[in-house]
Amino acid sequence: MRLYLTTMKTTGSVTDGFLPAARALGREVTILTDRPDDYRAMGAEVIGCDVRDPRAVIDVIAHHHAPEAVFTNSDHIQAETALAASYFGLPGKDWRACATAKNKALMRRELARAGVETVRSARLSPGDAVPSDVPLPAVVKPREGVASEDVVYVETSAELADAVQAIRARRPGESLVVEEYLAGPLHTLETLGADGGAEPLVLGGFTTTLGPLPYFVEERLDWHPDGPHEHVLGALRALGVGFGACHTEYVVTESGPRIIEINYRLIGDDCDFLLADLLGVPLHEWILRVHLGEGLPTAPPSPPLNGAANTTANATAGATAGGTANRAVHGAALGLVADRAGLVTRAAPPVDSETAGPVRLWHRPLRAEGDRIEHTGTNRDYLGLLRVIGPGRAEVDAAVTAFQTTRGWTIS
């Protein structure tokens, strides 16, 4: 049976996650992409296709092998892929929910209409005047942006006008959103749902540490499976979001939790692999099984983690499924951020998996020695992705410090 994977730029989630998972499930894979040359060495059939056009995706599949699933993990083409899956009568997401989640202005409108929450915001089409009634401080962002690109914090009307002008110069023709700044701790909730209308499975979540304002670079995510899950799940229900993987970001404000954005796909930047290791489950296979119509899996016993973390792996996985077991394992994922422009004169080496006492560590370089870095104030400033699992926060922090001290990146 054949699984069609629609994708754009290469990501670790696809190359090291979903493609191996599909092979483990015994599925033939056809990659549909607008960048076919980037996927030639992936060990799967590759067909060039305008994946932003669902008509093109449908046409290619209809004239190729019969599909068992049509799936994507891309931020940009969830609605298009959902339409293609629906055309062939396959399990998939509601394209309306995909479109609403992706469009930050629609998301705000629908959450307010459903009575879930109200965040004061304004949608700016190209050419619209900068609004004078938006509460300050505020955040300016592209209506359908990703990776914190062109997301800017402003405190005054003059800063707001300057930010809008600058973003429009970089993104001509795109709509923006201006919304009140939501102060408080930033968290994520990771869910996985299947057909049938049941509540999605709560996999857990993370606490996010951001870089300094006025930008919103995600520098670190720490395992934090607790939180106001019911509010977030209510927001997802209101938008029709449930099937498949979803990564939701929310802030706990003085007035309660408020949604920042709903990314209707699996969490990225290697946090998906961290989540899978913390839970001790084949997460990417789980997600594909849902799209193959097999429903939500029953969690198997967790495989042991190396070192002292072994004793608590099962407790962590059980707790996220609603149990009361002690959550002793801690995990963190860091984007190792370039703090300035310059030349990479020392690149940290890749680490596939390294055990030091009770701690396991992985590092994926995103740049190389000799690369010229342009500082952007976005997640595009990552030099590498580091993830660590240990028995507690202290052990994880010590491993992070040791790695950055002895094998960190240098920009000159």
Phi, psi of 200 (to 5 degrees): -65, 155
Q: Which CATH architecture has domain 2-90?
A: 3-Layer(aba) Sandwich (3.40)
Tokens matching residue 66? 């019969």
Is 315 within 8 Å of 278 (Cβ atoms)?
no
Rounded Cα gap, residues 100 and 57, in angstroms: 21
pLDDT in tens, 89-148: 999 999 999 999 999 999 999 999 999 999 999 999 999 999 888 899 999 999 998 888
What average pLDDT score do residues 348-369 get? 96
Phi, psi of 55 (to 5 degrees): -65, -40
Residue 298's pLDDT band (cuts 50, 70, 90): confident
- Say whether the peptide bond before residue 67 is cis (omega within 30 degrees of 0): no
pLDDT in tens, 178-214: 999 999 999 999 999 998 677 899 999 999 999 999 9
Is 47 within 8 Å of 70 (Cβ atoms)?
no
Beta-carbon count within 10 A of 344 CB: 20
Q: Fold for domain 120-180?
A: Dna Ligase; domain 1 (3.30.1490)
Instruction: Judge whether residue 359 has pLDDT over 70.
Output: yes
Residue 316's pLDDT band (cuts 50, 70, 90): very low
Q: Which residue is listed with tokens 């967790």?
A: 302
β-strands 218-223, 186-193 pairing: unpaired
pLDDT in tens, 301-313: 343 343 333 333 3
Instruction: Name which of 7, 44, 52, 72 is nearest 288 in CA terms.
Output: 72
Q: Where along the chain do its domains lie?
A: 2-90, 120-180, 330-411
pTM for the model: 0.92
